[in-house]
Structure 1
Amino acid sequence: MRRTPMELAALATAAVPGLEPVAFGPSPDDATDFDSALLRGADGRRWRVRSPRGTEASARLETEMLVLRSFSPAIRAELPFQLPAVAGTVQMLGLTTCVYTHLAGTVRELGQLARGGQRLVKDIGGALAAIHALPHSLVDGADLPAYSANEFRQRRLNELDQAATTGKIPPVLLRRWENALEDVSLWRFNPTVVHGDLHEDNLLIDDGRVTAITGWTDLRVGDPADDMAWLVASNEPDFVDSVIAAYHEAREEPVDPHLLRRAALAAEFALAQYLVKALALGDRDAAADGEDMLQQLASDIEAQDAAEAAEREAAEREAAEREAAEREAAERAAAAPQVSARPAAPPMPPGAPGTRAPFEATHPSQHSAPTAEGAAGARALITEGDGAKPQAGPAAEAEPPASNAASAEPPTDAIPLIARHAREGTHDA
């Protein structure tokens, strides 16, 4: 059931005695499950109203009220952001509508968050870390779900099986997700308290800082990567890297090497969950949107896989050509005729022209290889050789040989190999 801001204002007066709305307007929310509005009362105070569209959403809203009431004043005081407080509720047609006290701040689009500056980045990373550091007892006391790493992986596999039965998931995605879920090493993580529905619409920003986090309907103990899915799904890689760096800096836990890979999987799999939910609700428009998004994702992944395969083939071909050229050069050098030594000349008496005084040292010239510097500032020594025999030059003629026998200098076959590195692409799921 959809409700307008005016209808929500009327419900709010029933939920909070003495509330007299004089202005109201829509508030961003999950349009599939909730209608929301912001109100201003006659006394100037502000309120937020949230009303579910179905029984499942109503149950989630009741869970959120339970969660918010379980946050003790001591826990709230330790968090670097504010939480909503429930001001009142009202039931109509079996659905619970909730009214919250207003929190300072406004919702910003993801692009605005990405351009918000380093202080905002640190706030977002710190907020994520603070949520994941909450005690598990907070979830246990509210009788909310708690999963071990293996239980969470098995739950996701069950969801994948359910999605596959719709017959609307592209095969390339089913294979991709199944392979990721079967990789047990990917799912070795320490479960934490997770928000469960974190995204830009649930962050309130004021003066470049995170002031509050809303939308606590899916609190649980599970995979912390789920709270990163909205970041990975964005097209802001620098922003994502900065937030994750701030998150790890604020956390007192070892870095999870597979955190972003699981977050990417969660972001992709959210489309399948959206489709399954739309089909269950009989929402044809939402189901069609879900199918379109899944097809687009499949096309993007196939194009990315093809590009990576072509890049690998080119690298292998280039390496094979270099190896063949090196082998051919070595074979030519081995087959080249060797210079014969000249016959020894009779010794000359000391002091004769062209002789050296005893123990006179000769110093060979020092040759240092040129230094090449890359874009990242790394330097590497590069040596070159073409396998050709050395030719005598003016310098060689100017200095007499140390002995009366001249030996042939062996040819060089040092051909440098320059490794080519390809940067691996993303949204690993």
Structure 2
Amino acid sequence: MHRNSYSLAALSAAAVPGLIPVRTMPIATPVENLDVAGIVGEDGRRVMIQSPASTASGIRLERDLKVADALVGTPLRGVIPPVLGFVKLSEGGRCVVSEAPAGRPLMLDALHESSDLTRSLGQVLARIHTVPRYAAEAAGVESFTPEVLLAEHRARIATAKAGGHLPAAVAQRWDALLDDAELWDFTPQFVHGDLSEESLFMSGHRVSALRDWSSSKVADPASDLAWLISSLDPERFDELYSAYREELPTSTHPRLIERAQALGEFAVAEWLAHGLEIKDPEIVADARGMIADLDADLAQIARDEAERAYEQMNSREDGSS
């Protein structure tokens, strides 16, 4: 069941001895059916309460807490708000109160404006990807091999092709990417799995908090970079990736960026599949629009390459005359 801010404030007081709520603040969440609020105490203390409104969101919250607890002993502990208390809910499950994430939500616009913030995010991503596999598996996260992940990409794209949703150029490009064995020959690593503006927080010019670990897994590190490579301008992404590589104790896969770009494109097929599954015409239309944009980009690239080839041919002929 959903709870309003007054109910959430009462639950936070029950979960944290000595906390006397005086006001609440809304906090965005990427999780469906999860009621979240910021609570300011009489002593000025700021906490965050999360209360599941369905069985599914309760399971996701528990998974989030288990992973976050396992990460306390890693270099990520400084960006994970500590848990302060729990309260059992009458309908089953429990709500959790933690320290409020420091700072404010990290909007992509802020990355375009701050090189230091961009580098900070790159460093945090590297720390995520260097979490030891044993720590991740101790938290119960699933592990996926490159072969399984590639098969999932193939299945979604095959569905999109079978439904007539892919222009020929897009289908050919995606097939070529899927058939490139070297591109998918990588070592799976711990990943957040659902990075977004709702899960990241910033203070000054650094990443100050990171939450919602319920989608984390041992999988393709490119998946955490995919949304950024498609959202940031090239200069900013290069800064992020440079900081990411400097923070890593080992070298990256030589084609990690290329695979992140591919996953950013494949995400459109996943969005399309989701729209088709729930029969939402708006989502389907949105996905088809993004596919049309990609098709137009590929057509422009082909024209540019043809013009360069023509100019080079003319240059060679002029030089030989």
TM-score (norm 2): 0.86
Distance between the aligned counterparts of 2:17 and 2:160, measured in 1? 45
- The CA distance in 2 between the partners of 1:2 and 1:239, in whole Å, is 40
Mapped pair 1:213 → 2:210? yes
Contact 2:189 2:220 in 1 (8 A): yes
Residue-by-residue CA offset, 1:197-218 (whole Å, 9 max, x unaligned): 1233322211222222111112
Q: Give SS of 2:78's match.
A: coil
Aligned to 2:79: 82
Per-residue deviation at 1:122?
A: 2.6
Cα separation, partners in 2 of 1:319 and 1:279, compared to 1, 3 Å = closer
* Residue 82 of structure 1: how far off its partner (Å): 2.4
Tell me: higher relative CO, structure 1 or 2? Use CA pairs within 8 A at least 6 residues apart: 2
Cα gap change, 1:14/1:242 in structure 2, threshold over 3 Å: closer, same or farther?
Answer: same
**For 1:245-260, what aligned pairs fall within 5 Å after superposition?**
245-260=242-257
* 2:121 is equivalent to residue 124 of structure 1: yes
Gaps of 5+ in 1: 330-429
**Is 2:14 aligned against 1:21?**
no
Deviation string, structure 1 residues 161-218 (Cα, Å, up to 9, x no partner): 56667x4844555554343222211112222111111233322211222222111112
- 1:323 to 1:176, Cα distance in 2 relative to 1, 3 A: closer
1:258-297 mapped onto 2 (5 Å cutoff): 258-277=255-274, 282=278, 287-297=280-290
The aligned residue for residue 147 of structure 1 is: 144
What is the CA–CA distance in structure 1 between the aligned matches of 2:174 and 2:248, rounded to whole Å?
29
Q: Equivalent residue of 2:30, what SS?
A: coil
Task: Tell me whether 1:316 sits opposite 2:309 in the alignment.
Answer: yes
Equivalent position SS for 1:197: coil
Structure 1 residue 91: deviation in Å? Answer: 3.4
Alpha-carbon separation, structure 2, partners of 1:115 and 1:65: 33
Higher radius of gyration, 1 or 2: 1
Matched, 1:302 2:288: no
Amino acid at match of 1:191: P
- Check whether the contact 1:170–1:294 (CA below 8 A) recurs between aligned residues: no
Q: Deviations over 1:38-66 (max 9, x none)?
A: 11123322111223454433322110111
Contact 1:11 1:90 in 2 (8 A): no
C-alpha distance in structure 2 between counterparts of 1:169 and 1:59, whole Å: 34
Query: How many angstroms apart in 1 are the aligned matches of 2:275 and 2:12?
Result: 29
1:108, 1:205 within 8 Å by CA — same for their partners in 2?
Answer: yes
> SS at 1:229's partner residue?
helix
Distance 2:86 2:156 in 1: 35
Cα 1:28–1:243 change in 2 (3 A) is same
Please say if residues 8 and 49 of structure 2, whose CA atoms lie closer than 8 Å, have aligned partners that are also in contact.
yes
Q: What is the letter of the counterpart of residue 133 of structure 2?
A: H
Match of 2:234 among 222, 234, 237: 237
Count, aligned residues: 319
Corresponding residue of 2:106: 108
> Residue 195 of structure 1 contacts residue 216 of structure 1 at CA under 8 Å; is this kept in 2?
yes
CA distance in 2: counterparts of 1:84 and 1:113, whole angstroms? 22
Matched, 1:134 2:121: no
- How far the C-alpha of 1:130 sits from its partner, in A, is 1.1
Q: Deviation string for 1:340-360 (max 9, x for gaps)?
A: xxxxxxxxxxxxxxxxxxxxx
Residue 105 of structure 2 aligns to a residue whose secondary structure is: coil
CA contact (8 A) 1:5 1:24 kept: yes
Residues of 2 paired with 1:94 and 1:279: CA distance?
33
**What is the aligned partner in structure 1 of residue 65 from structure 2?**
65
Higher percent of residues as helix: 2
- Relative to structure 1, is the Cα distance of residues 33 and 304 closer, same or farther in structure 2, using a 3 angstrom cutoff? farther
User: When the two structures are superposed, what TM-score results if normalisation uses the length of structure 1?
Assistant: 0.66
Name the CA distance, whole Å, in 1 between partners of 2:7 and 2:181: 50
Pairwise CA RMSD: 2.8
Shift of 1:14: 4.9
How much does 1:116 deviate?
Answer: 2.0
Contact 1:9 1:24 in 2 (8 A): yes
Query: Partner amino acid for 2:56?
Result: E
